[in-house]
Structures are given as C-alpha cells and as structure tokens.
Amino acid sequence: MANPLHPSKVHFSALPLENLDGVSGIVQPVTQTQSVTLESSAAMLVTDFSVSHPYTLPTGSSISQALETMKQAGVRLLMLINASGNFTGVINARELIGGRRITLAMQKHQIGRDEVTAEMIQTPRSELHSLSYSRISHASVGDLVETLKTSGDQHVLITEPDGSGASRIRGIISASNISRALGVDFNHPPEARTFSAICHVILGHDL
C-alpha cells in the first residue's frame, strides 16, 4: 500500500470566488402536498427515525427537564434511554401535566415533586404497542385506524429488524399526525385525539 503524501507536499488550489450580482432567489425544500385519505399508505404517516432524529431523554432526568425538552422540541412524547443506551419506555405530556403518575411516584418513593424522575412515571416498554415497518408499508391509513381504534393509544411505535436477530424502533405514528393529515380539527371536538375518535369524526361512525 502506498504511503499517503505528507500534507506539506500536497498542492492545494484556491477556488475562484464569484460575486452575487444577479442572484436573488433562495432554494427552499420541496413540500409534499399529496393528500392523505383512509385509502392512502399508512407508511406516509410514520415519523421515520432514519430521516427525522428521535427525541430522547435519559431515564434519570427530572420531570421538569422532561417538560422543558418537550417545549423546546415541540413534541408531546419522549423516548427514554437508560445509562446503557437502551430504550426503556416513553413519557408523554399528558403524564407530565396531568400529574396522577407524579403523585403516585411521590407517594411510593416518599419524595418531593422535584425528585421525581422520568423513569418513575414512564410507560414502560412492556406496556407499549408496536407495528412492524414491513406491515405498515403494505397497509392503508384505514387499516391503521381500524387496528388501533379500540386501543386508545396516542402513539404507536414502528419497529424493524436490527440485523442481529432482534428489533429496533424505526419510527412512530401519532394520533395527532393522523388527525392533521386527514383534515380533522384536533380541538373540535376535543375528544378527537384517539384513533377511534378520529375515525368517528371522519365517517360519522366507527369503521
């Protein structure tokens, strides 16, 4: 194998700079305007972590840190990661604002509110539901709503094989994203926050 050239022996050339006379436009990202219906591919509604970075939080973080992270990121759910870098569960804004789990954690551990950690009030991995990316890729939005309308889930995790015989989280689908994509007003009626309610608002009845 040839030895690489020493930096002092490599010849570099200055690039000719140009002025901006006649340049006034700025390239903007192309926005997808494709409409979503119940017959659309369910994959259209996946927040794909291979494209969008997931929002995570260490399990030992305080609940105030969790809430601030959500506010800064503009999200209502965070993925919790332990010291080994493994996914342990999720925490959502409802749990942080509602306070019931916080109160129970304070009572259970005999601690003050500022000592409650995200791990204490998380929805653990064992209680979460998921769908495989391959299944979602061959399903419609209607299939997704039909599947989840009775679960009451606000979010559903999407998984894929990790190449070592196990699975990893590929993305997430939220009820709020579905409602926006289908043109359902998220606040009128306010109960249109679950998959079942979304379907009812669209069709006037359940699927």
Q: Which residues pair with 89 in a beta bridge?
A: 80, 124
Q: What is the mean pLDDT of the chain?
A: 83
Residue 121: partners with Cβ closer than 8 Å, 6 or more residues away: 63, 91, 95, 96, 101, 102, 105
- Per-residue b or e along 122-148, where b marks 16 or more CB atoms closer than 10 Å to that residue's CB: bbebeebeebebebbeebbbbbbbbbb
What one-character DSSP code corresponds to residue 24?
Answer: -
| Per-residue confidence (pLDDT) for residue 207, from 0 to 100 | 40
pTM as predicted:
0.72
- Flag whether pLDDT at 50 surpasses 80: yes
| Per-residue confidence (pLDDT) for residue 186, from 0 to 100 | 43
| Per-residue confidence (pLDDT) for residue 166, from 0 to 100 | 87
Query: Edge-to-edge strands of the sheet including 130-132?
Result: 47-48, 167-174, 155-161, 130-132
Are residues 81 and 87 in contact, defined by beta-carbon separation less than 8 angstroms?
yes
- Flag whether pLDDT at 65 surpasses 80: yes
